[in-house]
């Protein structure tokens, strides 16, 4: 194993996990390497375009996402799931998102637009906090490290409804794990809600989260059960299309 590459990847992964630009001293503390090594590694990543530098602080760039997106395309994840997302968007009239995990955040890798003139705005490549978005909550419940990485830092309050206490987040995560569905009602953006379900691949590997995003004015107590059923069925169809044969308790594929 090439130790130089291992050290470089440790630095890059620390930058990806950091919610804000970080300095050399803090990186050295997190990674356990001398500051001289950190600085040299950072300069290489800056020159390659994977890291940006502003006022002595460093952050990962979207070039990492761009390269990862190419891998996703090769895996046929988006290509396979997109027709299912389109059908869900037509059935619900709402915008459908597909997200992957990025530790304490999720990244939207695809979307199917709803037809309403008033709808939640989002872009492919946009990030959302895992602890207060419906797709993010799926990863907190089923991804092996997402919850730990999220709880490793203070839980930011985006709205009065955002859960900011670790114990409450862990309890709500257990509920998501049991139900196989995640709901957000104004926790990230005050007037926006969402419902999401996991998308599985072979060997019970969580590949993505599929969910609806819609204004709270259209996310009512009367239609919540219907939307949950539609999202659950679409995610299960996507899972089967990707080769899933069985899922953990609470997320059983529907026939």
| Tens digits of pLDDT across the chain (255 residues) | 788 888 889 999 999 888 889 999 999 999 999 999 999 999 999 999 999 988 889 998 878 877 776 666 556 688 889 999 999 999 999 999 999 998 899 999 999 987 765 556 667 888 899 999 999 999 999 988 899 999 999 999 999 999 999 999 999 999 999 999 999 999 999 999 999 999 998 877 899 999 999 999 999 999 999 999 999 999 999 999 988 875 554 454 433
Q: Which CATH number fits domain 3-61: 1.10.10.10, 1.10.3720.10, 1.25.40.10, 3.50.50.60?
A: 1.10.10.10
Give start-end residues of each CATH 1.10.10.10 domain in the chain. Answer: 3-61
Q: Which residues contact 161 (CB under 8 A, 6 or more apart)?
A: 185, 186, 187, 190
Cβ atoms within 10 A of the Cβ of 99, count? 28
Q: Does domain 72-241 have CATH number 3.40.50.300?
A: no
pLDDT for the residue 66: 73
From the list 79, 239, 251, 120, the residue with the least C-alpha distance to 182 is: 251
Distance (Å, rounded) from C-alpha 231 to C-alpha 182? 10
Distance (Å, rounded) from C-alpha 114 to C-alpha 126? 18
Kindly state the tokens that stand for 26: 């803090």
Distances (CA, A) of 106 to 17, 98, 239, 240, 249: 11, 10, 19, 23, 23
Q: Which residues contact 56 (CB under 8 A, 6 or more apart)?
A: 23, 24
pLDDT for the residue 102: 87
Kindly state the tokens that stand for 244: 């899933």
pTM of the entire structure? Answer: 0.70
Distance (Å, rounded) from C-alpha 164 to C-alpha 225? 27
Q: Which residues contact 116 (CB under 8 A, 6 or more apart)?
A: 93, 94, 214, 218
Cβ atoms within 10 A of the Cβ of 55, count? 6
Give start-end residues of each CATH 3.30.450.40 domain in the chain. Answer: 72-241
pLDDT for the residue 181: 97
Order of strands, edge to edge, in the sheet holding 51-54?
22-23, 57-60, 51-54
Beta carbons of 155 and 163 less than 8 angstroms apart: yes
């Amino acid at each position: 194993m090439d130790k130089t590459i291992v050290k470089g990847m440790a630095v890059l992964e620390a930058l990806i996990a950091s919610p804000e630009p970080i300095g050399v001293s803090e990186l050295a503390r997190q990674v356990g390497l001398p500051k001289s090594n950190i600085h040299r590694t950072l300069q290489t990543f800056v020159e390659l375009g994977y890291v940006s530098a502003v006022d002595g602080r460093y952050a990962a760039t979207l070039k990492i996402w761009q390269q990862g997106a190419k891998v996703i395309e090769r895996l046929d994840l988006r290509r396979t799931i997109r027709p299912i997302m389109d059908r869900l968007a037509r059935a619900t009239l709402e915008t459908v998102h597909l997200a992957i995990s990025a530790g304490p955040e999720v990244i939207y890798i695809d979307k199917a637009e709803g037809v309403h003139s008033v709808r939640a705005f989002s872009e492919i490549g946009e990030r959302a906090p895992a602890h207060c978005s419906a797709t993010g909550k799926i990863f907190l419940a089923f991804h092996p490290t997402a919850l730990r990485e999220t709880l490793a830092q203070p839980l930011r309050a985006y709205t009065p409804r955002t859960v900011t206490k670790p114990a409450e987040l862990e309890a709500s995560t257990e509920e998501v794990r049991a139900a196989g569905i995640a709901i957000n009602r104004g926790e990230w953006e005050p007037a926006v809600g969402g419902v999401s379900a996991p998308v599985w691949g072979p060997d019970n590997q969580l590949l993505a989260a599929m969910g609806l995003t819609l204004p709270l004015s259209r996310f009512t107590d009367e239609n919540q059960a219907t939307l949950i059923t539609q999202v659950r069925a679409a995610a299960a169809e996507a899972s089967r299309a990707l080769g899933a044969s069985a899922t953990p308790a609470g997320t059983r594929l529907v026939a």
